[in-house]
A and B are shown apart, each in its own frame.
Chain A
Amino acid sequence: MTTLIFLSLLGFLVLFIGAFDYKKLILPTVIIGLIVAFFLNAMDWELTATSFYGMIDYNHYAVSFTGLMIVSVLLLMLVASYHFRNEGSHIADIYALMIFTLIGGLLMTSFSNLVMLFIGIEILSIALYILAGSRRLNIASNEASLKYFLMGAFASGFLLFGITLIFGVTNSFNLAEISDFVADTEELPTLFSTGVMLILIGFAFKIGAVPFHFWTPDVYQGAPTFITAFMATVVKTAGIAAFYRLFDSCFSGIDGTWFKILWIICVATILLGNITAVMQNESKRMLAWSSVSHAGYLLIPILALNELSSSAIFYYSAAYSIASITAFAVLIGLSKFQNDLPLDQYKGLAKNNPIMTTALVVSMFSLAGIPPLAGFFGKYFVFLTAMQSGLIYVVVIAIIGSLIGIYYYFKPLIYAFNNEGGSLEKIETNFAFNFVLMAGIVLSLLLGIFPDILRNLPG
């Protein structure tokens, strides 16, 4: 709870610093603030009580996911110091929006009432619509923002409609009461199942699962790279965490109504994401499709819905977030501000930029799921969860998807080690940027070698 209040105040503080134009203070404030927020969040570990008339349940699951999101934002902020080095005057507003996004994410992981879920999702989304369009004079950024806004508003509509129907049946927004209703009612009204379906659609939109993924490539490509990294990590983590939390606590008893649909969504997401990513020649589009496929992997534990699920989702999100942040950081280092980043931009990277190359290798290996990196164990835990619930076909398809994935994750690496057309100059970076790259490498390795550090956190 203190984290929520602290983060709101931090957001306002950043806005004020921006308003009074102390540019040098902004980034240190944000970073120190986020570190404090992380510790405040960790201090709530023992809290585990619902508060505010059952609006929020800040349990271990919420604390772990919030911690993960804060770390992701922290790493991204350090990248931002490099990314925004030449940026204009509204930088404080952008940081403030990102902090507000974090609040949305926090609510999405800790809600125990559907109203809180909706407000959380809206805070997250509205901030993102703007962040996607924050490069105002760039037409691709505008397009991304508008596309994301229209699609996202539509998805919110579905979600809200679903929530309304469920309220209409159960007369409650409270997760505990809804789950009691589900347990006590022998034959659920069709209205309820329809509500569940609509909520499912809303979530699938938000995490970009097939067939509600159409916005992903365009928005990821058009948005500023830094924001794309934000969307691919924090937003996806929050979305999947909320998805699991809702379905685990309310709808686990009635998986007959949604299991088949989610099965199809999950399999289609993995296959389509991976296959389409193979055909991409643009780095951000490739990462976009890869993030679609990862959404598919993240859906498997929700499909399985057993006691291993929450830890699998958490571990996978952590591994995926860290690898993605590293990959995007490399991309930001390579690009200046253009939106079009063809894959051959990596050409000749290896010779003069050892840290960036290592980071690229580690992140790509981790995303592809190659041992002993974190991504491998993420997939392993996900498959383990699926096997426990007997989802053999899903696992087979997911493994095929991963094999396809290895192909396209190696493409940037092949370019990076190819010195034919001359090698790239040494890229000037600052300390914070290098720190993120190093942190990415170390964390990916560390989580891979000692997976139990994080695995059992959400409980």
Chain B
Amino acid sequence: MLTIAFYILSALTISSALMVLFSKSPIYSVLWLVICFFSITGHYILLDAHFLAIVNLIVYAGAIMVLFLYVIMLMNLNKESEPQKPVWLKFASVITGCLLMIVLAGALKGYSELPPAAITEDFGTAKGVGKVLFTEFLMPFEVASILFITAMVGAVILAKKHVND
């Protein structure tokens, strides 16, 4: 049952991710990406990580992708204005992409020999995540706030109208 769900979700994830790339219209790309995030949420649920699943849904599908959609809707992008890349560049990117895929596929050789990680009792719940965040990962959790303030200050610098402009 779970295995079937996993395969369905994986197929959905991969095909929607591919559709993100193949869609001609940027709006469709964004919508496929939303579906991709949905199926990743599904993966989290399969892994019993409920909290991460719903946070993934709220943050990515609910907030970030909506902002993407905003920008694309307001920019009025369409097929005609999309720049065409030279053929050699396309070839080069296809080749490098395939090489990376071969490397990753090769890397999966022997993955099953690895022992699975131990799981604590409150794994995946809000309580469990909170405990980890405020003990072991307190430092990165706090330092991440500097990352966010940096990004916010940056957004203000780039977007705000200055006096001498």
Contacts and interface: CB of A to CB of B under 8 A. Distances in A.
Check A-B contact in the complex, CB < 8 A: yes
B16 to A, nearest CB: 19
Contact of B139 (A56, A96, A194): A56
A8 B145 CA distance: 10
Contact of B150 (A4, A52, A89, A126): A126
B154 A189 contact: no
A347 B154 CA distance: 38
**Which of B103, B136, B140, B154 has the most A CB atoms < 10 Å from its CB?**
B140
Nearest to A18: B153
A18 B43 CA distance: 46
A175 interface: no
B152 to A, nearest CB: 10
Contact of B143 (A15, A90, A94, A116): A116
Contact of A90 (B114, B136, B162): B162
Interface string B97-114: 000000110111111011
Given A116-B140, A189-B110, A189-B111, A53 B146 contact: no
Nearest to A124: B150
B147 A130 contact: no
Contact of A189 (B104, B113, B151): B113
Contacts of A53: 135-139
B79 interface: no
A137 B165 contact: yes
A218 interface: no
A90 B150 contact: no
A11 B149 CA distance: 10
A97 B107 contact: no
A441 B3 CA distance: 68
Interface string A373-414: 000000000000000000000000000000000000000000
Contacts of A171: 117
A23 to B, nearest CB: 12
B136 to A, nearest CB: 5
B24 to A, nearest CB: 22
B81 interface: no
Contacts, number: 103
Interface in A165-221: 165, 168-169, 171, 189-191, 193-194, 197
A367 interface: no
Contact of B104 (A107, A113, A116, A194): A194
A242 B146 CA distance: 19
B149 A100 contact: yes
Contacts of A97: 150, 153-154, 157
A127 B155 CA distance: 10
Nearest to B111: A191
A122 B147 contact: yes
Contact of B147 (A89, A126, A134): A126
B2 interface: no
B162 A89 contact: yes
Contacts of B144: 119
Nearest to A188: B110
Nearest to B143: A119
B146 A136 contact: no
Interface string B109-143: 11101100100000000000000000111111001
A93 B113 CA distance: 51
Contacts of B149: 11-12, 100
B153 A15 contact: yes
Given A89-B162, A93-B153, A133-B158, A100 B146 contact: yes
A453 interface: no
A231 B90 CA distance: 31
A119 B135 CA distance: 17
B109 A190 contact: yes
B156 interface: yes
Contacts of B151: 126
B66 to A, nearest CB: 20
Given A8-B146, A119-B140, A193 B107 contact: yes
A75 interface: no
Contacts of B146: 8, 11, 100, 103, 123
B147 A123 contact: yes
Contacts of B111: 189, 191
A93 B150 CA distance: 10
Interface string B6-46: 00000000000000000000000000000000000000000
Interface of B: 103-104, 106-111, 113-114, 117, 135-140, 143-144, 146-147, 149-151, 153-154, 156-158, 160, 162-165
17 contacts: A11-B149, A12-B149, A55-B140, A89-B164, A93-B153, A93-B156, A107-B143, A116-B143, A123-B146, A127-B154, A130-B154, A134-B157, A136-B162, A136-B165, A168-B114, A190-B110, A194-B103
Q: Which 10 residue pairs of A and B lie closest in terms of their CB atoms, listed nearest first?
A: A130-B154, A194-B107, A52-B139, A55-B139, A88-B164, A100-B150, A115-B140, A53-B136, A190-B107, A171-B117
Interface of A: 4, 8, 11-12, 15, 52-53, 55-56, 88-90, 93-94, 96-97, 100, 103, 107, 113, 115-116, 119-120, 122-123, 126-127, 129-130, 133-134, 136-137, 165, 168-169, 171, 189-191, 193-194, 197
